[in-house]
Amino acid sequence: MFFDTHAHLDDPRFNPDQAQVVQNAKDAGLELIVNIGCGLDSIRRTVRLTEQYGWIYGTAGVHPHEAKIMDEEVYFAMKDLAKNPKIVAIGEIGLDFHYDHSLRDVQAQVFRLQIGMARELGLPITIHDREAHQLTLEILDETHAWDLGGIIHCYSGSWQMAGQIIKKGYYIAVGGVLTFPNAARIKEVVRQIPMDKLLIETDCPYLAPAPYRGKRNEPAYMVKTAEMIAGIKGLPLEEVGRITTENGRKAYRIP
């Protein structure tokens, strides 16, 4: 029983064998996947996936890389798509100061705008934060976004920051990076975090865990991340799966 809380199965890299990848996930013990919409075309593909597979849900968001595309037309089209009952969050939204594909002030403006949309629609948010920890927290504070509930996906900050986040009621999601040899910081976060605030994700097709590192990631591989968590926490794998699946359901409000 596992829940991939952050996948990109609509990515073109899955076009040749998407159905097989979904079946692989089912065979590996996954019972839920949330596919992440990252722009209008991606959200539309995500909605189609959720219609095709009853156990796949989705999100709607404009990724910080694409913040520069946000205008009134995109905003209202996205908002309309986000009203679909299988869309369970606004995301992924946030800040990426590593690549800076959109200007930083534009990223911040669009982040705030989408938090406002989540508030209007009564949805939680799933957040992308890369090398922008302080401003991410400041925006969440100033917009009172903690009230919405949410997830920091592919967490890369310190345990000190994670401690602040979980006290506010958000969840921390970890993926394949946890299995990398140089992942001491995120291993420490997993060591310290209470199990009821931890989620597992793949971020596929990116960040495949060992021993698949460098290959196209897929939801079936997240079991390797769960095994690493089980080792760090001293828990049976089945217990890690059960708890993180319950957490994912709570985070996304999936019955």
Bridge partners of residue 58, in order along the sequence: 35, 87
- What is the pLDDT averaged over residues 75-100? 97
Rounded distance between C-alpha atoms, residue 7 and residue 219, angstroms: 7
The pLDDT of residue 173 is 98
The pLDDT of residue 77 is 98
Q: What is the pLDDT of residues 141-163, one digit of tens each?
A: 999 999 999 999 999 999 999 99
Q: What is the pLDDT of residues 167-187, one digit of tens each?
A: 999 999 999 999 999 999 999
Q: What's the domain range around 152?
A: 2-252
3-state secondary structure of 150: strand
Residue 18 pLDDT level (bands cut at 50, 70, 90): very high
Furthest-apart CA atoms within the chain: distance in Å: 50
Angle (CA) 190-236-55 rounded to 5° is 80
Residues in the chain: 255
Tokens describing residue 210: 């060992």
Rounded distance between C-alpha atoms, residue 244 and residue 28, angstroms: 16
198-200: strand order across its sheet: 2-7, 30-35, 56-60, 87-96, 125-130, 150-152, 171-174, 198-200
Q: Do residues 151 and 180 make contact, with C-beta atoms less than 8 angstroms apart?
A: no
Cis? peptide before 211, omega within 30° of 0:
yes
DSSP string across 10-48: TSGGGTTTHHHHHHHHHHTTEEEEEEPP-SHHHHHHHHH
Phi and psi (nearest 5°) for 156? -135, 5
- What is the pLDDT averaged over residues 191-214? 97
Residue 134's CB: how many other CB atoms inside 10 A? Answer: 11
Tokens describing residue 26: 């089912």
Rounded distance between C-alpha atoms, residue 180 and residue 56, angstroms: 28
The pLDDT of residue 207 is 97
Number of domains in the chain: 1
CATH number of the domain bearing residue 30: 3.20.20.140
Residue 72 pLDDT level (bands cut at 50, 70, 90): very high
The pLDDT of residue 23 is 98
